[in-house]
Amino acid sequence: MMENKNKITLVTGGSRGLGRDMALKLASKGIGVLLTYHSNSDEAQKVVTQISKAGGKAAALQLDAGNTKSFGSFFTQVRTVLKDTFNADRFDFLVNNGGVGIYAPVTETTEETFDQLMNVHFKGVYFLTQAALHLMNDGGGIVNISSGLARFSTPGYSAYASMKGGIEVFTRYLAKELGTRGIRANVVAPGAIATDFGGGHVRDNEQLNKMIAGVTALGRVGLPEDIGGVVAFLCTDDARWVNAQRIEVSGGQNL
């Protein structure tokens, strides 16, 4: 834990689901966590309290990950929180996790839906990362969250999965361009996970749940606790030579 003692990770969408587990797993490794939430400040504060009670350092800030115009003022707040909570000027790792799930066939996907997904899952990630780099220490890393859907195709996910495909290419470019700063960039691609994401249908639809379990080598649907530890690992020195990789964490889905 000592090696991670003064490291800090910014996790977007860290108040619930996968992001919450990422925040808790990072903190369990002694890493400071600055998490963002979109609208649920109470849930975000619960995560901060849980980390603090366990002896870790954490703080939460509101962020609309799809509104690039807000990023300037957001990072002004980040600077303040870094000083006040972590006694630091910069942070080490960025986890681009925040997202929304909207599903429709190609024939029914509206331009408005497409733009919303693009703003949150690709444009927002691109420019949030760009802005974050000014505050990141050399030798840190970026973890972008993709999806198994960028590898296999499931009807209804074309727009979302296409943005995730873009994220995977973007990650390789980050790794290439940031290598001189010793900053690594990797992708974690979860399979289907039982959370409230996208209305919670993987979690709540028994038929869908069974179908996914049936095409997964380990025979069940994923849980948030299956993902956070992999992200946390990538934010430690144990992963110092892992770069430009896509790590799918799906239990062997659709092999």
Catalytic positions are 160
> What burial letters (b/e) apply to 134-143, b meaning 16+ CB within 10 Å?
ebbbeebbbb
The backbone torsions φ and ψ at residue 87, rounded to the nearest 5 degrees and listed phi first, read 50, 45
Contact 242, 184 (CB under 8 A): yes
103's CB contacts (< 8 A; 6+ apart) are 156, 157, 160, 198
DSSP-based three-state secondary structure for 127? helix
Spatial distance between the Cα atoms of 187 and 170, rounded to a whole number of angstroms: 10
Are 7 and 92 in contact by the 8 Å Cβ rule? The answer is yes
Would you say 4 and 236 are in contact if contact means Cβ atoms under 8 Å apart? yes
**Amino acid at position 3, single letter:** E
Report how far apart the first and last C-alpha atoms of the chain are (Å, whole number).
Answer: 36
